Amino acid sequence: MNTLFMIRNRKRDGKYFIYVIAIIGAITGVLLFTPPGLIILSLTMTTLSIVVPTWPSMITILVTYVGIATTATVIALILVRKWI
């Protein structure tokens, strides 16, 4: 009962979306740092190498992918520690 009341209060405060961001960040982090994520990454890189056969663009895409996933994971961890 108390938990439901807390969730209801958080929705009213407009902090409900923080859980959504945290979940998205956690999923992104898990996808990057586990074998399925690496498979997806390698497939993406292979497809892009066929479409755009230049190394600089591949490296840029890899750095961007890792950067986005790491940032999302860090944001998720910060928000989870702050709000729970």
Give me the pLDDT at residue 1, please: 44
- For the stretch 9-59, pLDDT in tens is 555 555 666 667 667 767 776 666 666 666 777 777 677 666 666 666 667
Contacts of 55 (CB under 8 A, 6+ apart): none
d(CA 49, CA 62): 12
What long-range pairs does 11-15 form, CB within 8 A, spacing at least 24?
A: 15/83
d(CA 18, CA 45): 31
Closest CA to 32 of 66, 1, 71: 66
pTM reported for the whole predicted model: 0.36
